[in-house]
Structure 1
């Protein structure tokens, strides 16, 4: 492939899907497991941690106030 083909391939739109925005994540304080979510959960829904079975906290995304990084 020549230089022009490389530049053309780099500028063409990609067929890859863009990832969905993250609204926040469930976070386990005990073992640092993070489960990102595309939308906020309804009410005070709690999830058990898949590693330690302790309740996980929902935290908002970094641009939403309470970072779930």
Structure 2
């Protein structure tokens, strides 16, 4: 088996799952972003209704809704 064939099989397998990257049954509606640091925290990982502080710089993060229908806030 060639390296190219192996890479093709890995890529094909990674796109076949309908539940990509989701570890929980909760559906994410978006993510909190820090514009300065580029940090991202999914909304389902945040407790409470208020925007969290960035773990790197301490600034308040902004919420951005997901544009995808898969529930992923990527």
Task: Name the TM-score, length of structure 1 as normaliser.
Answer: 0.51
| Cα gap change, 1:18 to 1:49, in 2 (>3 Å) | closer
| Cα gap change, 1:52 to 1:63, in 2 (>3 Å) | same
Residue 36 (structure 1) aligned to one of 37, 42, 63: 42
- Output the CA distance in 2 between the equivalents of 1:53 and 1:18: 27
Between Structure 1 and Structure 2, how many residues are aligned?
47
Which ranges of structure 2 fall in alignment gaps of 5 or more residues? Answer: 1-21
Which ranges of structure 1 fall in alignment gaps of 5 or more residues? Answer: 1-16
SS at match of 1:58: strand
Structure number having the greater strand percentage: 1
Residue 61 (structure 1) aligned to one of 49, 60, 66: 66
Q: Which has the larger radius of gyration?
A: 1
Output the aligned Cα RMSD.
2.8
| Structure 1 stretches of at least 4 aligned residues deviating more than 6 Å after TM superposition | none
Task: Name the TM-score, length of structure 2 as normaliser.
Answer: 0.48
